[in-house]
């Protein structure tokens, strides 16, 4: 008998869809889009449903939210269930394509409450997004104990060379406040093994 492997299922928490503004809402600025993402990160910790990180993919033509994501590492039993990857995977499922940069799609932007870790950074060029918006810096995540992995110092420039515009420090104080709140609440720091 071959082994019966379970399907790999990652679910966003139940509160998230209820918490979202109406789907027709148009987000006209990067700050507006980040405000939503930081709020999702805050709710993820207040609801006890994951780490202090959220992200979302937006359709840049319409300004509408395409797919939200929140960190689901612990609840999902999945070390790769970072908010950025949750949002990208959901956007790709909803559009029916592995490539958000395909000619049949509007340009897509990923907004993330904290700069991408080494794993998520590696996933960005394959996703097809054309724009990345970041709130807190990776040193902010490190400040509360998360390991962001090994990234080249010039990673924003590397992304730009691959056609992805990068905007940093958008609502950074608000995003940092969520990280610190998670620490102050005694939230789990779930790194595997950090470099010495
Ligand atoms: Zn990540």
Instruction: Render pLDDT for 138-156 as a digit per residue (tens, 0 to 9).
Output: 999 999 999 999 999 999 9
119 Cα–ligand 1 center, Å: 5
1 Cα–ligand 1 center, Å: 37
DSSP result, 60-98: TTT-BEEEEEE--TTTTT-TT--HHHHHHHHHHHHHT-S
Output 94 or 192, whichever has higher pLDDT: 94
Whether residue 192 has pLDDT greater than 80: no
Q: How far is CA 49 from CA 23, 42, 186, in A?
A: 23, 11, 14
Tell me how far apart the alpha carbons of residues 49 and 85 are, in angstroms, rounded to a whole number: 16
Which residues are within 5 Å of ligand 1 (an ion), measured at CB?
Answer: 82, 117, 119-120
| pLDDT, tens digit (0-9, with 9 covering 90-100), for 93-144 | 999 999 999 888 899 999 999 999 999 999 999 999 999 999 999 999 999 9
Give the pLDDT of residue 113. Answer: 98
Give the pLDDT of residue 195. Answer: 62
65 Cα–ligand 1 center, Å: 20
Beta bridge partners of 112: 55, 134
Stated pTM of the model: 0.96
Residue 92 CB contacts under 8 Å (≥ 6 apart), including other chains: 98, 99, 100, 127
Average pLDDT, the chain: 95
Output 196 or 148, whichever has higher pLDDT: 148
Structure tokens at 143: 């400040």
3-state DSSP assignment of residue 159: helix
139 Cα–ligand 1 center, Å: 14
């Amino acid at each position: 008998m071959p082994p019966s492997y379970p399907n790999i299922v990652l679910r966003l928490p139940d509160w998230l869809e209820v918490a979202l503004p109406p789907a027709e809402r148009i987000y006209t600025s990067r700050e507006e889009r980040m405000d939503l993402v930081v709020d999702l990160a805050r709710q993820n910790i207040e609801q006890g449903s994951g780490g202090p990180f959220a992200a979302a993919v937006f359709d840049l033509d319409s300004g509408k939210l395409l797919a939200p994501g929140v960190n689901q590492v612990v609840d999902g039993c999945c070390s790769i269930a970072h908010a950025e990857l949750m949002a990208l995977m959901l956007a790709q499922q909803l559009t029916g394509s592995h490539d958000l940069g395909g000619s049949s799609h509007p340009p897509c932007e990923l907004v993330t409450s904290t700069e991408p870790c080494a794993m998520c950074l590696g996933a960005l060029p394959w996703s097809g997004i054309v724009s990345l918006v970041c709130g807190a810096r990776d040193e902010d995540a490190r400040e509360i104990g998360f390991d962001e992995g090994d990234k080249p110092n010039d990673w924003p420039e590397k992304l730009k060379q691959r056609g992805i515009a990068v905007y940093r420090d958008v609502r950074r104080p608000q995003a940092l406040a969520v990280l610190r709140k998670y620490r102050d609440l005694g939230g789990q720091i779930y790194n595997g093994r950090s470099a010495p």
